[in-house]
Amino acid sequence: MKWSPARLRAFTRVELLVVSLVVAGLIALVLTLALRKKAAPMNPLAAQRSQCLDNLRQLATAELMYAADHQGRFCPSYLDYASPDFKSVWMGALADYHGRPDGVWLCSATTNPPSDFYRGSAEAPWTYTDPTTGTTTLGSYAINGYLGLGRNHKSAKEANFKPKNVFHQQATVRKPELTPMFTDAVYWNCGLEETDSPSRNLYDPQDNVAVSGSFKKILTQFIARHGDYPAAQAPRELDSEKLSGAINIAYVDGHAENVPLENLWQQYWHKNWDLAKVAPSHAMPR
């Protein structure tokens, strides 16, 4: 059958109007849904995680700026000097680099008031008091001690921090994308060895690792602060071998990410980290 011009019919004005109204309605619906999605409040846990990651990225940037100003050497941690005043720990050393006088080192998940003890918990900040001025600082993050010891470490007074494992300069970090710089913690510095065992209390770590002398190192990173449940619900006594929960970590390359506790042994915490030494139960993420 052949079509002739007589058989072709143009849209009437009414039909064009109807089509235009339908298209306009669809566009309005799509825009409304997009705006609602944009305006919808973020899940509280996701909001806390996002704010914490932003803090850690700022701290990592500040640390890298500090290193650039000090011939590639990282800022001091509490273990770096005999003097424990504020300017000799990382919070004071980086204060001029991140531009946040309100304290970029405080996570919004740590909403509980601090205890009288210096150590925090999954939902409470740690406290640091300058012995010279008496000024108290609250915080939620720890510096990786094997970076902080790199500038002027005087002695191996803490046996669990082995001088041979210290990153003395930024250039000695072989895997910057896997080497923690700052991390969620219940104390202001931290360090993990391949053979360390975690606490079974992921709310308030109680499992201490004895070293020479009377000093005991708390495995401060093992808190379930940014997992699938609020920090207040972090397990006080795990009933399984597998660790639940996660923390946020900023790395030497400047990025920050959420890391399951079970994966902490897969990071390169010190210069000579050896995955072959990790206990079989933590050798691979499960």
> How far apart are the C-alpha atoms of 246 and 259, rounded to whole Å?
5
Q: Which residue has the tokens 């997992």?
A: 227
Tokens of 23: 């298209």
Give residue 212's pLDDT: 39
> How far apart are the C-alpha atoms of 111 and 121, rounded to whole Å?
10
> How far apart are the C-alpha atoms of 56 and 286, rounded to whole Å?
26
Give residue 141's pLDDT: 94
DSSP, collapsed to helix, strand or coil, labels residue 10 as coil
Sign of the Cα pseudo-torsion (109, 124, 92, 164, in order): negative
Under a CB-based contact definition with an 8 Å cutoff, are residues 133 and 210 in contact? Answer: no
DSSP, collapsed to helix, strand or coil, labels residue 127 as strand
> How far apart are the C-alpha atoms of 264 and 286, rounded to whole Å?
12
Give residue 140's pLDDT: 94
Give residue 161's pLDDT: 65
The percent of the chain in helix, strand and coil, each rounded to the nearest 5, is 30, 15, 55
Q: What is the pLDDT of residues 204-254, one digit of tens each?
A: 887 554 443 333 456 889 999 999 899 999 998 887 778 889 999 999 999
* Residue ranges in the chain whose pLDDT is less than 50: 3, 8, 156, 158-159, 209-216
Give residue 232's pLDDT: 93
Give residue 159's pLDDT: 46
> How far apart are the C-alpha atoms of 11 and 14, rounded to whole Å?
8
Tokens of 30: 């799509």
Count of C-beta atoms within a 10 Å radius of residue 213? 9
Give residue 18's pLDDT: 59
Give residue 200's pLDDT: 83
Q: Looking at the DSSP assignment, which residues form a beta bridge with residue 189? A: 143
Under a CB-based contact definition with an 8 Å cutoff, are residues 156 and 163 in contact? Answer: yes
Q: Which helix (H) or strand (E) holds 260?
A: strand 256-260
Give residue 81's pLDDT: 61
CA of residue 182 relative to chain centroid, distance:
6
β-sheet with 141-144: strand ranges across? 189-190, 141-144, 180-184, 246-251, 256-260
